[in-house]
Amino acid sequence: MELIDKVIILKTADHKEKNKTLTVFGLKNGLNNLLARGIKEKNAKLKFLGLPFVFCEVELLSAGGAVIKTATLIESFSNISKSIEKYESACFCTQAILILGQKDEEGGLLFKLFLEALMKINSDEDGFEWQHAVSFVLTALSGSGYKMIFEACVACGDGALSPAFLNFVSGELLCRNCASNGATQVKASTVETFKKIERGAFNDISAESLGSARKFLNQVFISIFDRKLI
């Protein structure tokens, strides 16, 4: 494990009286649990390490160790904690990282995509927090080998996909004629929602459609990884 890394804090847990254990996602080191000593003290200099979604640079006491020597705050993403929609959508992204990040020893591209998603959610003033979150999860899935193509049936090229069927093993969307017995039906409206999100057409998406898209992605994660997003 690298001695110095840029990390995003995913979650924290109390450790003894004055410490916290941090679950972080690092640009170089990927997913790890680090110990932050003394940050629960009243005047602790590194108190910011106890907050989720914080982006910072950490230096460990020793290479390969798991104890933080010092840290420098880069961005707190403070707006996320001020809005339920921002907070819940950021948690949705975080849960995807906790699942998908286990596949990579390094954060790399997934780290950069996650950081970008948090930046967009934090700064959003148009009510598009969930659109940004769903877009991130779709992209993260694609980068992990589970790209879903919403434009047409992968097998025969039929562009109708009404209804569509998802093969959870391959992540492929199929028409009724090409779907196997193990494929799960997907509402045409949900497919259309994902197509709009991929195009960045965030304005024309209802709250109900976004909810269906989140539930569908949750089902995808349960089927592929046996882990829930929500």
The full DSSP string for 107-146 is -HHHHHHHHHHHHHHHH--SS-HHHHHHHHHHHHHHHTT-
Angle, helices 188-199/129-143, rounded to nearest 10 degrees? 90
Q: How many CB atoms lie within 10 A of CB 169?
A: 12
Band the pLDDT of 104: cuts 50, 70, 90.
low
Between CA 182 and CA 191, with CA 188 as vertex, the angle to 5 degrees is 85
Q: Can you list the domains of the chain with their CATH numbers?
A: 4-76 (2.40.50.140), 81-147+187-225 (no CATH)
For residues 38 and 90, give the distance between their C-alpha atoms in angstroms, rounded to a whole number.
27
Phi, psi of 7 (to 5 degrees): -135, 160
H or E stretch at 193: helix 188-199
Give the pLDDT confidence of 2-40 residue by residue, as tens digits.
899 999 999 999 999 999 999 999 999 999 999 999 999
Give the pLDDT confidence of 39-58 residue by residue, as tens digits.
999 899 999 999 999 999 99
Q: Is the pTM of this model over 0.75?
A: yes
- Chain Cα centroid distance, residue 166: 21
